Amino acid sequence: MAYNITLIPGDGIGPEVIYAAKKVIDASGVEINWEVVEAGSKVIDEYGTPLPDYVLESINKNKVALKGPVTTPVGKGFRSVNVALRKTFNLYANIRPIKTYEGVPSRYKDVDLIVVRENTEDLYAGIEHMVSEDIAESVKIISKKASDRIVKYAFELAKKENRKKVTAVHKANIMKLSDGLFLKCSKEMAEKYKEIAFEDVIVDAMSMKLVLNPEKYDVLVMPNLYGDILSDMASGLVGGLGIVPGANIGEDIAIFESAHGSAPDIAGQDKANPAATMLSGALMLKYLGEFKAADKIEKAIAKVLKEGKHVTFELGGNAGTKEFTEAVINEL
Ligand code: NAI
């Protein structure tokens, strides 16, 4: 069966890393009809927006997209394409698998955890106002519905991936109502998944514990703001954004993309590391149920990283995007 997938090349290094990932996915044997749709700064002049309707229509139709990074124009009044996609399709779960790969410089070994971040509320609900000229107020929204949904997602993910433990991260000792509700929902959900261990950790302690012993953690679930910060921090533990994939997942639509941005400083120079986008492609294949192909791609990337002969400059190598891609395809 061939899958119909929306492919959004994006801006900056986007097209380079996206076509590298597409090549690798095509070489894995899974049959995909790619529907390429352009978004971002290159379409603003023609369509008056970085996110034209045809992009939304394509995602709505195909239900799954692989996306390159999109530049957010500063001070031009456009809202971020990423925020707009998240809101339009109610992509409530942001997933960031964090894993050490041999050959990638990192202080740690054997890290293999997943950060599951609630994507729709918390301080990101955008409810802010000035109370007076000198006082600003931001409203933090935590609901039972969104907390139950994200914690359930984390437990289901743990079950599906044979993982042993879910850790809920919060600050309920101070924000007794909002984070208290998130914690209560987490504890209640844990009762329904007795086969998976559960613990809760306060976010400041979690930051320290992650830096000290990241290998002790498995699936971490948390509200939006803590997830934003800890998922980037955790990426740093294993060698940076160049090798960290990601996904934004909703009820029936999912968009897969690396965690890094459009890197305008190295765009068009055959310098970008496409590993994170390839690994996002592997995540997408898992989502589609193509576990063998996903595993094959991840192993091929791991081998090329370990060998170190064809890695890009930010990992200390001399290879370009194309050379890395060819090396991964050879391993496949
Ligand atoms: P960035 O992630 O694009 O770049 C930060 C640094 O990391 C730069 O030095 C860059 O060269 C390097 N880098 C990033 N990806 C790399 C890769 N694959 N291989 C080698 N080096 C890499 O972050 P920055 O500069 O803050 O953002 C640039 C633009 O990207 C902004 O317009 C921002 O809004 C957008 N952005 C888009 C995202 C998305 O569409 N998902 C996510 C993050 C940022």
- The question of whether 179 is a catalytic residue gets the answer no
In the 3-class helix/strand/coil scheme, how is 102-131 assigned residue by residue?
CCCCCCCCCCEEEEEEECCCEHHHCCEEEE
**To test the ligand 1 pocket, which listed residue (16, 42, 260, 280) has its Cβ within 8 A of the most ligand atoms?**
260
| Cα–ligand 1 centroid distance for 245 (angstroms) | 13
Is the pTM above the cut of 0.85? Answer: yes
What are the Cα distances from residue 214, in Å, to 4, 111, 220?
37, 6, 11
Question: From atom 5 of ligand 1, which residue's Cα is the shortest distance away?
Answer: 263
One-letter amino acid of 75:
G
pLDDT in tens, 41-92: 999 989 999 999 999 999 999 999 999 999 887 766 677 898 899 989 999 9
Return the exposure string of 8-37: e unless at least 16 CB atoms fall within 10 Å of the residue's CB, then b.
bbbbbbbbbbbbbbbbbbebbebebebbeb
Domains and CATH numbers, the chain: 1-91+238-332 (3.40.718.10), 107-233 (3.40.718.10)
Residue 237 near residue 111 (C-beta atoms within 8 A): yes
**DSSP structural state of residue 79:** P
Short-list 278, 274, 234, CA closest to 117: 234
Which residue has its alpha carbon closest to ligand 1 atom 30? 261
For residue 258, pLDDT beyond 80: yes
Q: What is the pLDDT of residues 305-323, one digit of tens each?
A: 999 999 999 999 999 999 9
**How many whole angstroms from 26 Cα to the centroid of ligand 1?**
25
217 φ, ψ (degrees, to nearest 5):
-110, 155
266 CB near ligand 1 (under 6 Å): yes
Residue 23: strand, helix, or coil: helix
Catalytic residue list contains 228: yes
Q: Ligand 1 atom 6: the closest Cα is on which residue? A: 263
287, burial (CB in 10 Å: exposed 0-12, middle 13-18, buried 19+): middle
Measured from the Cα of 71, ligand 1's closest atom is 32
Q: Which of 124, 153, 217, 226 is catalytic?
A: 124
Q: How far is CA 98 from the centre of its chain?
A: 10
Each residue's pLDDT tens digit, 152-193: 999 999 999 999 999 999 999 999 999 999 999 999 999 999
Structure tokens given for 227 = 């997830």
Angle at 202 between CA 86 and CA 146, to 5 degrees: 30
| Token pair for 282 | 């592997």
Closest CA to 144 of 121, 165, 113, 164: 121
